[in-house]
Amino acid sequence: MKSRIVITGIGLTAPNGNNLAELRESLLNQRSGITHTEIRHLGKVAAGLCEFDETLYQKKKTRRRGTRAGSISIFCANEAIKDSNIDFENFDKDRIGIYLGITEHGNVETENEIHDLYQNDLDVSLWSHHHNPRTVANAPAGEVSLNLKITGPAYTLGAACAAGNIGLIQGIQMLQLGEIDMALTGGISESTGTFGIYAAFSSQGALGKHDDPTQASKPLDIDRNGIVISEGGAIFTLERLDDAEKRNAKIYGEIIGYHINSDASDFVLPNPERQIECMKKAIKKANITENDVDIVNLHATGTKAGDINECEAVSSVFGTSENTYINCTKGFIGHAMGAAGALELAGNIPSFEDNKIHSCKIIENVDPKCNLKNLVNGEPINKEVNIILNSSFGMLGINSVLIVKKYN
């Protein structure tokens, strides 16, 4: 029989909060964290930027050597450990795994150094000798390993915008295999540091814009015009239930189901049939029915095709479920890419205690093709919550679904 896996700690930074309580309060009170910022070559754009103390858990010298993604990861990992109240000092560091989902890594450093190169007559001698360790794909997890002296497996998982969920799934699997006794896992993003991602979405006609930056991300709204790029991270402490109970740990919830699949049909256009399959297989693994699910948190990026295709899939799976309520999060924080799924899951987990379902950021003109049954749009819904389904999908057709149950 596979071990039951539970969440015992959460550390995060989001554009509208630097811990779970702050994020939850912002979501319940319709507080956006999206602002305008200046991006090289593009000027003023809407973005979700995080404001946390980068040197709370690392020295300034180490931060200068490392990366923004690493600093986000170090902050979130330390906060997750502190929140779990585990005896970390005496924990066997060989038995801890670090699995962080990420959309892309190394773009920020490479773009900045190429820019500096052209500002200095292409003098290659000025190229940083820190470039290689900063840009290897395992850098964020590796920086956490160095910071916390963790000697177990530490690596990142590239899974586009499904990466946050997939980081968690990797942690679950490694715990169930007995390879580790604790996992630090979730997703992180430093995407706001690269002009390339803004330029690409802009050329695609999919970069969210508005004179009021808090209105730039409008998932499911007929007037939406694209994605708002954000940074951030959410890292969870995962343990086997038996171990958590032995130390009387606070348990946020039990992960009871998940599934990952691929569309194999298009570079960017999501495939509703494969999303349907992903949700149904996760529900089957969780040994529940659709009507048992209290919250479905949509991926809902704010692009027309993405929103419509996802809503088609969700309607197909949950269209007859009276008990299931639908919400989304990117209207408040933008699209945190590799961190999106993990942050959005974190924002809903307090529902197990406060019995409230946070609303989408108020949708003034719901797209008729996205007008889902039980869409939470306005005030939070007061309801006992026992099961949350979190969906995250990404480019190249990667789909992920995670199901968490209230522990009692």
Q: How confident is the model at residue 59 (pLDDT cuts 50, 70, 90)?
A: very high
Of the options 3.20.20.100, 3.40.630.10, 3.40.47.10, 3.40.50.720, the CATH number for the domain spanning 5-246: 3.40.47.10
Instruction: Please state the rounded mean pLDDT for residues 129-155.
Output: 94
- C-alpha distances in angstroms, 282 versus 20, 89, 258, 293, 402? 26, 36, 5, 12, 7
Q: What is the pLDDT of residue 222?
A: 98
On whether the CB atoms of residues 203 and 139 are closer than 8 A, the answer is: no
What the block records as the tokens of 325 is 């309520």
Which whole-number Å values give the CA distances from 147 to 66, 90, 189, 239, in the listed order?
A: 11, 16, 18, 21
Phi/psi of residue 257, each to 5°?
A: -165, 155
pLDDT at position 131 over 90? no
Answer whether 5-246 and 257-403 agree in fold: yes
Pairing mode of beta strands 154-158, 43-48? unpaired
CATH of domain 257-403: 3.40.47.10
pLDDT, tens digit (0-9, with 9 covering 90-100), for 80-99: 999 999 999 999 999 999 99
Binned at pLDDT 50, 70 and 90, residue 335 comes out as: very high
The answer to whether residues 254 and 329 touch, using CB atoms and an 8 Å cutoff, is no
pLDDT score at 408 = 85
The band of 136, judged by pLDDT with boundaries at 50, 70 and 90, is very high
SS3 string of the chain? CCCCEEEEEEEEEECCECCHHHHHHHHHCCCCCEEEEEECCCEEEEEECCCCCCCCCCCHHHHHHCCHHHHHHHHHHHHHHHHHCCCHHHCCHHHEEEEEEECCCCHHHHHHHHHHHHHCCCCHHHCCCCHHHHHCCCHHHHHHHHHHCCCCCEEEEECHHHHHHHHHHHHHHHHHCCCCCEEEEEEEECHHHCHHHHHHHHHCCCECCCCCHHHCCCCCECCCCCECEECEEEEEEEEEHHHHHHCCCCCCEEEEEEEEEECCCCCCCCCHHHHHHHHHHHHHHCCCCHHHCCEEECCCCCCHHHHHHHHHHHHHHHCCCCCCEEECCHHHHCECHHHHHHHHHHHHCCHHHHCEECCECCCCCECHHHCCCCECECCCEECCCCEEEEEEEEHHHEEEEEEEECCC
Report the alpha-carbon distance of residue 381 to residue 403 in Å, rounded.
20
pLDDT tens, residue by residue, 167-184: 999 999 999 999 999 999
How far from the centroid of its chain's Cα atoms is residue 325's Cα?
20
pLDDT for the residue numbered 269: 87
Residue 117 has pLDDT above 90, yes or no: no
CA triple 235-184-250, angle to 5 deg: 80
Residue 27 near residue 21, CB atoms below 8 Å: no
pLDDT at 116 over 90: no
Q: Could you state, in order of their start, the residue ranges of all structural domains in the chain?
A: 5-246, 257-403
Q: How many CB atoms lie within 10 A of CB 107?
A: 17
In this prediction, residue 113 carries a pLDDT of: 84
Question: pLDDT tens, 351-406?
Answer: 999 999 999 999 999 999 999 999 999 999 999 999 999 999 999 999 999 999 99
Determine contact, residues 168/186, Cβ cutoff 8 Å. Answer: yes
CA 405 to chain centre: 18
Whether the per-residue pLDDT at 190 is higher than 90: the answer is yes
The better pLDDT of the pair 268, 214 is held by 214
Structure tokens at 140: 């964020």
* Span 34-57, pLDDT tens digits: 999 999 999 999 999 999 999 999
pLDDT digits (tens, 9 = 90+) for 192-236: 999 999 999 999 999 999 999 999 999 999 999 999 999 999 999
CA atoms of 243 and 251, how far apart (whole Å): 11
Confidence of residue 115 (pLDDT cuts 50, 70, 90): confident
Q: How far apart are CA 293 and CA 282, in angstroms?
A: 12
Q: Which amino acid is at 167?
A: G
Q: Name which residue leads in pLDDT, 153 or 124.
A: 153
